[in-house]
Amino acid sequence: GAGVSQTPSNKVTEKGKYVELRCDPISGHTALYWYRQSLGQGPEFLIYFQGTGAADDSGLPNDRFFAVRPEGSVSTLKIQRTERGDSAVYLCASRGAGELFFGEGSRLTVL
């Protein structure tokens, strides 16, 4: 596709449930990033992939959060046992040789 695609655009779930958020990066971009953004704050780094491997996962808040990119393209961010504090917009970005291109984000609401 022409840009970074994220699905779903909105997800409402209940506390304790499992959630998956998907990111389809720009074709050919080897680096892929996940950020989380709470209201009134700038995006907060979570994890980035270089190809299939996680090059830096230092931003993941705890072991309930996990991300994969098995074929070096699409990535999935997985959140187990969701908590109300996980409510945020989750942004994905990809980078080829130039600058970061962001998707529109997935808004997660945990009730």
Residues near another protein (CB under 8 A): 4, 30-31, 33, 35, 40-45, 48, 50, 55-56, 59, 91, 93, 95, 99-105
CB of 21 to another protein, least distance (A): 14
Count of CB atoms situated within 10 Å of the CB of 95: 17
Q: If we measure between CA atoms, which residue out of 19, 80, 43 comes closest to residue 34?
A: 43
Q: If we measure between CA atoms, which residue out of 16, 4, 49, 5 comes closest to residue 30?
A: 49
CB of 83 to another protein, least distance (A): 23
Considering the complex, state which of residue 66 and residue 101 has its C-beta at the smaller distance from another protein: 101
CB of 41 to another protein, least distance (A): 6
Backbone angles phi, psi at 44, to 5 degrees: -110, 125
φ/ψ bin of 72: left (φ > 0), alpha (ψ from -120 to 50), beta (otherwise): left
Considering the complex, state which of residue 43 and residue 65 has its C-beta at the smaller distance from another protein: 43
Considering the complex, state which of residue 81 and residue 87 has its C-beta at the smaller distance from another protein: 87
